[in-house]
Structure 1
Amino acid sequence: MKTLKNLLDGLLPPQPGAADEEHALQLATAVMLVEVMRADASFHAAERAAVLAGLRAKFGLSEDEAARLSELAEIQAKTASDWFAFTSRINENFEMPQKLRMIEFMWDVAYADGHLSEHERHVMWRIADLLHIPQGAYIHARMRAQAAAGLSD
């Protein structure tokens, strides 16, 4: 089980070792999911649940690990001046299929409350752009998440 200290260590300058890089990558991914959750004017428990589900599915984390990572990501999201540090780490470590799966998780968060706000749409577009997601793949990921949520445009 990963401890909060291990997750916090992911914020420190990179140290040799795959575990440190994995923690930093998990945090970067979690921050992107949290940013979508924070984009909505009102907080919905379903959005937090979608963030946690995405983290568990993406990284094979336990409920407790995902919750700790999400809490740390919320702190980072509130204090970050931009998304570049997070998206560049993701770009360096994820191949396109992994980034597309992450975008799908982000759409799941955006649609978790049953609607998509304009600000959520903008956040999704900006992050997808920073991750170099092709427009067609971005739209298809959105459509899959919409269908999974039982929604239509």
Structure 2
Amino acid sequence: MSKKAQMLKKLLKRFTEDNQPAADKHTLDLSAAALLVEVMRADHSIDADEQHELSQVLDELFQLTANEISELLQQAEHVSEQASDLFQFTDVVHKHFSTEQKFDLLTGLWRIAYASAGIDKYEEHIIRRIAELLYMPHSEFIRAKLIARPEL
């Protein structure tokens, strides 16, 4: 087994462990970043505007350096590609983020969806699913969407 595969296996195991009392900051950041990447990948087309917006959202959510953002994005893309569902990420976020942090993440998901040429039905679907898995009320789903909408 390659070193990369071992690291991924260890990371995915960390996401599925129920007895973990508190997730470390990197695990929390990676879980949220993976959800953001999932929205970016939802329409099967990744463009520079989405990637730029994703970097900005990560910076605002976690106050990371450019190098840390780059590394986190690379890891999030890899973990996202290997994931079989969203629950492994939403469960970590739900257990450790405050309601305000979840709302900020939800707003970031919408910002990424709006960054491309309009919201694709697959992007909206995945954001709705993430909001449900984070136990966010529908009113907050709509409020985040309206806040993230670019000025016309």
> Under TM normalisation by the shorter chain, which class is it?
0.7 to 0.9
- 5+ residue gaps, structure 1, are 1-6
- Residue in structure 2 matched with residue 113 of structure 1 by the alignment: 116
The CA deviation string for residues 66-93 of structure 1, in whole angstroms up to 9 with x for no partner, is 1110111000111101111111110111
Q: Identity over the aligned pairs, expressed in percent?
A: 36
Counterpart among 140, 143, 147 of residue 143 in structure 2:
140
Counterpart among 7, 14, 21 of residue 24 in structure 2:
21
Deviation of the 1:17 alpha carbon: 10
The CA deviation string for residues 29-81 of structure 1, in whole angstroms up to 9 with x for no partner, is 00000000001232210101111111111111011111110111000111101
CA–CA separation in structure 2 for the residues paired with 1:17 and 1:93: 10
- Residue in structure 2 matched with residue 47 of structure 1 by the alignment: 50
Counterpart among 28, 31, 34 of residue 31 in structure 1:
34
- Residue in structure 2 matched with residue 88 of structure 1 by the alignment: 91
Q: CA RMSD in A?
A: 2.2
CA–CA separation in structure 1 for the residues paired with 2:151 and 2:49: 14
The CA deviation string for residues 121-150 of structure 1, in whole angstroms up to 9 with x for no partner, is 10110011101110001101101111xx22
Q: How do 1:63-82 residues align onto structure 2 when only pairs under 5 Å count?
A: 63-82=66-85
Aligned length: 141
Give the TM-score of the pair, scaled to structure 2: 0.85
CA–CA separation in structure 1 for the residues paired with 2:79 and 2:115: 22
Does residue 99 (structure 1) correspond to residue 102 (structure 2)? The answer is yes
- Residue in structure 2 matched with residue 4 of structure 1 by the alignment: none
- Residue in structure 2 matched with residue 62 of structure 1 by the alignment: 65
- Residue in structure 2 matched with residue 3 of structure 1 by the alignment: none
1:71 match: secondary structure = helix
CA–CA separation in structure 1 for the residues paired with 2:44 and 2:120: 8
Give the TM-score of the pair, scaled to structure 1: 0.84
CA–CA separation in structure 2 for the residues paired with 1:128 and 1:95: 14
